[in-house]
Amino acid sequence: MMGDSPDNPNNEAAKVKIKHDWYQTDAQVVVTILMKNAPADKVKVHYGDRSLSVTSIIPGSDNEYSLELELAHEIVPNMCSHIVSPSKIEVKLRKKEGLRWANLEGEGKEEKIKAIPQAVIDASGPLQQPPKIFRKDWDKIEKDMKKMEEEEKPEGDAALNALFQKIYGEGSDEVRRAMNKSFVESGGTVLSTNWNQVGKDKVEMKPPDGLEFKKWE
């Protein structure tokens, strides 16, 4: 049985070497596979606690591309993702710990792929980094809680009392006299800010409908 001839398209596709590189942020390691026009429905990615597997059909051929990595550190599989674009496959690995990775692959292996120099990353423009999840700013949390407490609006009687205190505190002397006189003389059943009205006569008690006011002897 004769083998494939040198001019066979499948044989040529098998010789294609697809490069990959990587960079990192505080929270992620991003692996970029430089495969153009990869069919999104044929790209399969598997995340292990410390491994990455990417397979895809190479465009224009029946050959399969495969990338198998034993990672240098642990990742969080359910927080990883990948994006297929016309120019590349980008795999985002969420670090389990906020460590700076010296290598992409595990210890004991020859480092075949080096990280992109930071100068190159800086020259390509700012990266949209995800929020840092490894530290909690307890001072900020405490300030936010205090702010929420200060902004919390009172309800019911508390809101009404707060309103009366505001009116009394900001009112004129006549407003304060009217409020004091009406409240005391009516046994707490009337609260008026109109001195011209309550200053003339004694303020009568006005209990709510259905209730009768009685003095204790």
User: Do residues 105 and 191 both lie within one domain?
Assistant: no
What is the 8-class DSSP label of residue 104? S
| Structural domain span for residue 116 | 15-135
Residues 182 and 106 in one domain: no
Residue 63 lies in a domain: yes
> Is residue 91 a part of any domain in this protein?
yes
Same domain, 117 and 182: no
Structural domain includes residue 161? yes
Q: What is the pLDDT along the chain (217 residues), one digit of tens a residue?
A: 444 444 444 444 444 678 999 999 999 999 999 999 999 999 999 999 999 999 999 988 888 999 999 999 999 999 999 999 999 999 999 999 888 999 999 764 444 455 555 555 565 555 555 555 555 566 676 777 677 766 666 666 666 677 777 777 777 788 778 788 777 777 767 777 777 777 777 777 766 655 555 555 5
Number of domains present in the structure of the chain: 2
Give the CATH number for residue 120. 2.60.40.790
Q: What are the E-state strand segments in the chain?
A: 20-24, 28-33, 44-47, 51-57, 64-70, 81-84, 89-94
DSSP for 24-53 reads E-SSEEEEEE--TT--GGG-EEEE-SSEEE
Taking a C-beta distance cutoff of 8 angstroms, is the pair 80, 94 a contact?
Answer: yes
Instruction: Tell me if 215 is assigned to some domain.
Output: no
Same domain, 69 and 163: no
48 and 75 co-located in one domain: yes
